[in-house]
């Protein structure tokens, strides 16, 4: 016949899995909530794993008390931060984050809207829908609510363009001052200039793709199949990507996003667009899609001429027109450039350090 002590031991070590699973899942739920709002720290992560490992050792009484406290924390945090995600969704997010090992999770703004109702960070509303918000599950953050990073593709490429242009100027000046006859210094400066030029076009295209994604996210249930295909570049019938040209994006995306019947901007009404479209073929394609096919009539290297006859002045003009065009499209669609707070103009010395902050 079982003794009272024996029953207590059984209760401690052979508790029904469902009760311990509830405590385990509640711990993860709470940890993921803290991570989503930027409150999960390295020390809290250590405490979390200590609690997880301790669950199997708790007696029934201890387990009930522990679970009650964790559920209280979960309930309080859900109300405080406006958490809309279900426990199942939070557990899935935690599992996905842990699978990344030493890398923070990046969640797009439109998904964050579905997970919580209180905007994080403060400038949330000025972020595009496709902006990715870093979610640290306690890997690096030492202080709660610090170190939330935002990743926007077009902003990253803008910074890359600025960094490359500054470095181009540094090497160009070094070439001119130290040894104007040095082929190495000249070719290094030209290589950086070509990289800058391509990145400038990539910056504009990334911005256009962002406009398309944001509009699709907000309006996909009201769009016809043809418009969806243009915005996503995905053929749902053939199940394959159907990419559209740089020009089609420049002309089409602002029209769709602004709700205009006709393109609000084109080569005739927008000199910046005309300049970039002209040089996207002669300059960008010469670098990205080099071809040795000459004009049969004149035996001219055609588009490769731009590759051979490099101009630093043209790089600066492409940058200026790219920035001006993006601002003009933004104003056409949204009426202002509040979302483009990260864009700055260049000066004679290049771009200031503020661009990278």
Name the residue ranges covered by the structural domains of the chain: 4-151, 153-356
For residue 152, with 0-12 CB atoms within 10 Å meaning exposed, 13-18 middle and 19 or more buried, which class applies?
buried
Q: Are 109 and 129 in contact (CB under 8 A)?
A: yes
How many CB atoms are closer than 10 A to CB 214?
20
Residue 14 has what pLDDT? 47
Task: For residues 335-357, give the mean pLDDT.
Answer: 94
Residue 17 has what pLDDT? 77
Q: What is the pTM of this model?
A: 0.85
Strand ranges (DSSP E) for 267-351? Answer: none
Percent of the chain at pLDDT exceeding 90: 78
122 or 152, greater pLDDT: 152
Residue (of 159, 201, 210) closest to 285 by Cα position: 201
Residue 287 has what pLDDT? 72
CA distances from 98 to 59, 89, 113 (A): 29, 14, 22
Tokens (6 digits) for 111 = 């998904």
Given a cut of 60, whether residue 5 has pLDDT beyond it is: no
Given a cut of 80, whether residue 147 has pLDDT beyond it is: no
Given a cut of 70, whether residue 208 has pLDDT beyond it is: yes
Q: Are 15 and 63 in contact (CB under 8 A)?
A: yes
Given a cut of 90, whether residue 25 has pLDDT beyond it is: yes
Q: Are 128 and 257 in contact (CB under 8 A)?
A: no
Residue (of 122, 101, 99, 205) closest to 158 by Cα position: 205
How many CB atoms are closer than 10 A to CB 287?
17
Task: For residues 131-148, give the mean pLDDT.
Answer: 92
280 confidence band (pLDDT: 50, 70, 90): confident
115 confidence band (pLDDT: 50, 70, 90): very high
pLDDT tens-digit readout, 311-341: 899 999 999 999 999 999 999 999 999 999 9
pLDDT tens-digit readout, 94-113: 999 999 988 999 999 999 98
How many CB atoms are closer than 10 A to CB 232?
17
Q: Are 38 and 120 in contact (CB under 8 A)?
A: yes
39 or 19, greater pLDDT: 39
Q: Are 153 and 210 in contact (CB under 8 A)?
A: yes
SS3 of residue 19 by DSSP: helix
Phi-psi region of 167 (alpha: psi -120 to 50; beta: other; left: phi over 0): alpha
- 65, 66, 67, 71: CA torsion to nearest 10: 100
Task: For residues 46-59, give the mean pLDDT.
Answer: 94
CA distance 155 to 213: 15
Task: For residues 134-145, give the mean pLDDT.
Answer: 94
Least confident window among 138-147, 152-161, 202-211: 138-147
CA distance 44 to 28: 12
Given a cut of 60, whether residue 167 has pLDDT beyond it is: yes
CA distance 23 to 233: 45
């Amino acid at each position: 016949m079982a003794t009272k002590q024996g029953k207590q031991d059984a209760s401690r070590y052979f508790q029904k899995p469902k009760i311990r699973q509830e405590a385990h899942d509640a711990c993860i739920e709470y940890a993921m909530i803290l991570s989503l709002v930027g409150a999960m720290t390295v020390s809290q992560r250590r405490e979390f794993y200590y609690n997880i490992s301790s669950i199997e050792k708790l007696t029934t009484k201890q387990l009930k008390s522990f679970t009650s406290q964790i559920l209280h924390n979960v309930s309080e945090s859900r109300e405080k931060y406006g958490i809309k995600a279900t426990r199942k969704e939070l557990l899935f997010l935690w599992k996905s984050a842990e699978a990344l090992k030493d890398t923070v999770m990046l969640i797009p703004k439109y998904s964050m809207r579905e997970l919580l109702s209180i905007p994080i960070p403060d400038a949330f509303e000025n972020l595009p829908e496709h902006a990715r918000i870093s979610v640290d599950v306690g890997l690096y953050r030492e202080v709660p609510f610090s170190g939330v990073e935002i990743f926007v593709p077009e902003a990253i490429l803008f910074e890359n363009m600025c960094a490359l242009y500054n470095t181009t100027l540094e090497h160009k000046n070094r070439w001119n001052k130290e040894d104007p006859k040095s082929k190495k210094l000249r070719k290094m400066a030209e290589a950086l200039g070509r990289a800058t030029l391509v990145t400038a076009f990539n910056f504009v295209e990334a911005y256009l793709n962002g406009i398309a994604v944001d509009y699709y996210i907000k309006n996909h249930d009201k769009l016809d199949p043809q418009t969806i295909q243009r915005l996503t570049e995905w053929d749902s019938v053939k199940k394959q990507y159907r990419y559209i040209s740089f020009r089609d994006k420049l002309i089409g995306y602002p029209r769709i996003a602004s709700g205009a019947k006709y393109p609000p901007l084109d080569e005739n009404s927008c000199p910046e667009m005309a300049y970039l479209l002209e040089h996207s073929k002669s300059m960008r394609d010469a670098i990205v899609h080099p071809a040795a096919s000459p004009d049969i009539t004149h035996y001219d290297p055609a588009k490769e001429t731009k590759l051979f006859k490099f101009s630093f002045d043209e790089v600066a003009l492409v940058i200026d027109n790219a920035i001006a065009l993006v601002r003009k499209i933004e104003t056409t669609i949204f009426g202002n450039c509040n979302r483009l707070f990260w864009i700055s103009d260049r000066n004679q010395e290049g771009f200031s350090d503020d661009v990278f902050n």
